[in-house]
Amino acid sequence: MERVGVFVCHCGSNIGSVVDCAKVAEELRNYPNVVHSVDYKYMCSEPGQNLIKEAVKEHNLNRVVVCSCSPRMHENTFRACVAQAGLNPYMFEMANIREHCSWVHAGHNEEATAKAIDLAKMAVAKVCKNKELKKGHSPVTKRALVVGGGIAGIQAALDIANNGYQVDILERTPSIGGKMAQIDKTFPTIDCSACILTPRMVEASSHPNIKLITFAELEKVEGYVGNFDVTIRSKARSVDMSKCTGCGTCMTKCPGKADDEFNMNLQKRPAIYTPFPQAIPNKPVIDRESCLKFKSRKDGKDVCGICAKVCPAGAIDYEQEDEIFVEHYGAIVMATGYDQFDHSVYGEYGYGKYPDVISGLHFERLVNASGPTMGHIVRPSDHKEPKTVVMVKCVGSRDPEHGKSYCSRTCCMYSAKQATLIRDHCPDTKVYIFYMDVRTPGKGYDEFYNRTREEYGVEYIRGRVSKIYQDGEQLIVKGEDSLLGRPVEILADMVILADAMIPQNDAAKMAQIVGIGYDNDGWFTEAHAKLGPVETHTAGIFLAGACQGPKDIPDTVAQAGAAAVKVCGLLSKDQLETDPCTSEIDPALCAGCGHCVGVCPYKAISLETIEERKAGKTISRQVAKVNASLCQGCGACTVTCRSSAANLNHFTNAQILAEVDALCQTIL
């Protein structure tokens, strides 16, 4: 016999000022199966919870409905309360009469009260069909994977490792270091980027708990929180890592040439290379696209082989192949970073045609002592020192027409930093910065910006650049000074465009591989913008750094630390509780059509063959089966299933229909 208690919460004035809570309680008192119904100011408060516990005892309730806020807010609170009262926590339902009612129907009190009554009746109808459910348990693999070896990945790995857990860093390029390794100086303190990064890189590579897997790609992620099976493709380096001593002879003798990506293609590098001198591991790889030997093999020849001849350790292995292996992890941190927007979509800035119109990252390499110009600021076209430099901010940012609608957050500061570097290196060079707004909300940032203007004499012009064109050896930059309300024209030697931060070009594919969400732009989606900034909607997968959205180094390092704490919290458990609200498939009803297999976003459903007796014969047929550990309870299979064989525990077809019936009775 169902004995339901209904508890209507005022939530102070949040609900009470719109919904007549006493009336809701009154109406429900006469509803079938309801034996007790009251309202109270704050149901989630301790006295409120005690009210529920006492009512369960006094009225011998076996089911509880609380009409209050969203289950996201307080479902766990009330489930715990009901459990303390001696009931199964799943014999509880919540009717959301705040977000779904009072907040959206303010000023329509009567209708809102009627709606709240309907919502409460639906919850009562459902709770009467609820079954006692028990949480399951799953083991935890005490090892983490960090995807991406930039500063975010390195920091997250170090923090996890220092807490005593094993962690692997998976990096797709030949070395860890990421974008920070390409940057010359860091704002607002102008300390050398490599000087603060390389000690962390060394620490990561020599840490007993950290394993580096470089030049490797993430192929597949299977499993679930605590038990991920990750398939990794280790790309053929063509160099035997166990033999190579990193002496570098091969690189100096290699006759092959390729664009040097690390130096933004401002110079060439050999075909066998490490991306930069402080690379870790400091062992080269052969870029087979530009290697003379591999190129000649395509034409049926076999030439060169100089690197193998000069290698004193015999480490060159032309026959090496990609290796695919599976590793097991309990948690994954995504730290795949960002990419730089390509300004060549801007016709007004010359479609990328003018050699002396460069991006911010190009400039970092130009000004870096180990860069192609040994740190001398010169124009790419003729290697002359520029006497006038114009910088343009918000290139691709805050411009949905050409690029992205968001602010990239870092450009105001890196433009200011680069301007001061130019003034330091070339005191006679004039620097102009075109800006829309100056956004410097970080510690010491606004002070830096003011120094850039006041001490370094960098001229800020508020307005957009409408056109850049080549005029002989120089560039004419036309724009508007919107403070003076006047067009301006600057004869410049070099233009630096503050290109936006955008997601890696394969971010969406990566998100699909690991099974996490991403937004319209391709940034990975956090579980909650405010209260879950490093978690994702997939349990056990966390975010660090710019893969979640544009971020500077301080924010990236902070987020990496936060992700690491979440990972350690997870790995510290021996067992994980699993949610019983998972799907089940009734084999007697299942026709084996397999539609549910296709719609399941968690790959939790598979087809299996069963044998059964039918009309005196043994036949075998296919039916779908749910792996409860993988199932996240989304319900996609239940709405897809044509024969209603799929049923989501706690949200069964019978429960949902009971709610619909309850609602329709009022309407009819």
Partner 1 sequence: MEYAYYPGCSLDSTGIEFNLSTKAVAKAFGIQLVEIPDWNCCGASAAHSTSHWLGLSLPARNLAIAEAAGLDVAIPCAACYARSKRAEVEVCKSEETRAKIEEIIGRPYKGESKARALLDIFHRDLGVYTDKNALKKPLAGLKVVTYYGCLMVRPVDTGFDDPEDPISLDEIMTALGAEVVPWGFKTECCGASLTACRPEVGFPMTEKILDAAKKSGADCIVTACPMCMANLDMRQDQIGKAKNVHYDLPVYYFTELLGVALNMNNKELGIPRHFVPAEALVNKIGQAKTTEGGEA
Q: Which residues would be at the binding site for partner 1 (CB under 8 A)?
A: 346-348, 351, 467, 469-472, 476
Cβ(257)–Cβ(263) under 8 Å? no
Question: Regarding beta strands 210-213 and 166-170, do their DSSP bridges make them parallel or antiparallel, or are they unpaired?
Answer: parallel
* Residue 257 to residue 235: CA distance in whole angstroms: 21
Residue 633: phi and psi, rounded to 5, are 75, 30
Closest contact distance (angstroms) between CB of 408 and partner 1 is 23
Query: Tokens at residue 413, please?
Result: 């500061």
- Kindly report the number of other CB atoms within 10 A of residue 519's CB atom: 16
Nearer to partner 1, 325 or 351 (CB): 351
Closest contact distance (angstroms) between CB of 347 and partner 1 is 2
Nearer to partner 1, 401 or 428 (CB): 401
How far is the first Cα of the chain from the last one, in angstroms, to the nearest whole number?
27
Nearer to partner 1, 251 or 345 (CB): 345
Nearer to partner 1, 296 or 470 (CB): 470
> What Cα–Cα distance (Å) separates residue 119 from each residue in 28, 30, 63, 81, 201?
11, 15, 16, 22, 56
Closest contact distance (angstroms) between CB of 377 and partner 1 is 25
Nearer to partner 1, 454 or 471 (CB): 471
* Residue 183 to residue 30: CA distance in whole angstroms: 71
Closest contact distance (angstroms) between CB of 485 and partner 1 is 14
Closest contact distance (angstroms) between CB of 361 and partner 1 is 24
Nearer to partner 1, 88 or 470 (CB): 470
Closest contact distance (angstroms) between CB of 495 and partner 1 is 13
Cβ(413)–Cβ(552) under 8 Å? yes
Nearer to partner 1, 274 or 474 (CB): 474
Beta bridge partners of 413: none
Cβ(435)–Cβ(392) under 8 Å? no
DSSP 390-444: EEEEEESSS-TTTS-SS--SSHHHHHHHHHHHHHHH-TT-EEEEEES-----STT
Residue 293 C-alpha from the chain's centroid: 40
Nearer to partner 1, 35 or 476 (CB): 476
Closest contact distance (angstroms) between CB of 502 and partner 1 is 21
Nearer to partner 1, 48 or 479 (CB): 479
Residue 432: phi and psi, rounded to 5, are -115, 140
Cα-based torsion angle of the residue sequence 201, 207, 211, 212 in order, rounded to the nearest 10 degrees: 10
Closest contact distance (angstroms) between CB of 353 and partner 1 is 9
Closest contact distance (angstroms) between CB of 572 and partner 1 is 56
DSSP 506-575: THHHHHHHHT--B-TTSPBPPSBTTTBSSB-SSTTEEE-GGGGS---HHHHHHHHHHHHHHHHHHHT-SE
